[in-house]
Structure 1
Amino acid sequence: MSLETVVEDIRDEARARAEEIRSDADERADEIVAEAEAEKEEILTEAEAEVEKQIEQEREQRLSSAKLEAKQQRLEARRDTLESVYDTVEDELTSLETDEREELTTALLDAAAVEFDDDADVEVYGRADDEELLTSIVAEYDGFEFAGEYDCLGGVVLESDSSNIRVNNTFDSVLEDVWEDNLRDISARLFDQ
């Protein structure tokens, strides 16, 4: 065996080993690329899932916010409507015809008068525009006298120093009581609940 043959064998062996290393390296590179591709796909899938989750959360938050805002607007519109109805009732009470005003005022005075002793001196207060009406009604009651105006829609406020009693029987107080007692029914009728 000549030196050239040995050199040639070593070269062949080195080439074969280099080819084997290159083949292993290519194989390992392919594995790394495949792993990277798989990892990329997994990361992409997770990122897409996360984005979808965020989109769904934002959609739910916006939907909830929109529902809440719509509910608040509905409640505000209902409150405005109820206030408008209340204001209309107050206007109607203020502009009652004389006969109807006299009848209601007398009924309220009668209902309040029972709270006082027969010998009590009772001062009667009422709406400034009703002074003439109240003076004529009060003249029919012993110990009662019109004492001045009271800021109200109508009706009477009776006071007696001797019995330390004050009765507020104004249209305002009656309306407020009726309104509070029937607000649920009023609301149901107005809004078909």
Structure 2
Amino acid sequence: MSLDTVVEDIRDEARARAEEIRAEGENRAEEIVSEAEADAEQIHEDREAEVEREISQEREQKLSSAKLEAKQARLGARRDVLEDVHEDVEAALADLSGDRREELTTALLEAAVAEFDDGDSLRVYGRAADQALLEDILTDYEDVTFAGERDCLGGVVVESTNSRVRVNNTFDSLLETVWEDNLKEISDRLFEAQ
């Protein structure tokens, strides 16, 4: 073998090895580029999914907030309607007159007087406009006198001169008791279509 042949064989081997290294380098470069592209695609998909989650979450929060605001507005409107109804009932009670007012006042006075012992000296307070009515009704009772005005829609407040007992049978107190006891039913009737 001649030296030229050996040199040529070494060169061929070097070329083959260089070609092999270049091919491996290209393959590795392709793998790196492919992995980088896959990573970039995954990052893009992850970010897109994250943005979709954020959009969905914000949409849900805004929807929940809008629902809450609507519910609060509806409750506020219902409260306003209930207040209007309450005021209308108060006005109707204040406007009661004639026999109906006398019947109710008498019944409330009888119930209040029944709370005290026989022989107690009692004072009765009522609405200023009802003074004549109360004085007329009180003529049927012994030791029971009209003692003055009470700011109320009607009815009576009765107290004993002998003790600290006081019975509040005003239209106002009865209305509040009935109103509180039946508020759910009143609300249901007013808003049953909703």
1:181 maps to which residue?
Answer: 181
Counterpart in the other structure of 1:168 = 168
Identify the residue that residue 74 of structure 1 maps to in structure 2. Answer: 74
Moved more, 3-12 or 88-97: 3-12
Structure 1 residue 11 displacement after superposition: 4.8
One-letter code aligned to 2:136 = S
- C-alpha distance in 2, partners of 1:34/1:110? 98
Aligned partner letter, 2:40:
K
Displacement of 1:112? 1.0
Partner of 1:25: 25
- Map 1:6-155 → 2, pairs under 5 A: 10-155=10-155
User: What TM-score results when the alignment is normalised by the length of structure 1?
Assistant: 0.87
Q: Give TM-score, length-normalised by structure 2.
A: 0.87
CA distance in 2: counterparts of 1:164 and 1:94, whole angstroms: 28
Q: Give 1:103 deviation, angstroms.
A: 2.0
Worse-matched range after superposition: 66-75 or 153-162:
66-75
User: Residue 73 of structure 1 aligns to which amino acid in structure 2?
Assistant: A
Deviation at 1:177, TM superposition (A): 1.5
Q: How many residues in Structure 1 have an aligned counterpart in Structure 2? A: 193
Aligned residue identity for 1:136? D
State the 1:59 CA deviation. 2.4
Give 5+ residue unaligned stretches, structure 1: none
For the residue of structure 1 that corresponds to 2:35, the secondary structure is: helix
When structure 1 is superposed on structure 2, of 48-57 and 11-20 the one drifting more is 11-20
Residue matched to 1:159: 159
Q: RMSD of the alignment, in Å?
A: 2.2
Q: Is the 8 A contact 1:116 1:163 kept in 2?
A: no
Q: Which amino acid aligns with 1:98?
A: G
Deviations 1:27-78 (A, max 9, x none): 1111100111111122222222222222222222222222222222222221
Q: CA deviation at 1:106?
A: 1.3
**In the alignment, residue 184 of structure 1 is paired with which amino acid?**
K
- State the secondary structure of the residue aligned to 2:162: coil
Percent of matched pairs sharing the same residue: 66
Query: Could you tell me which amino acid in structure 1 is paired with residue 112 of structure 2?
Result: A
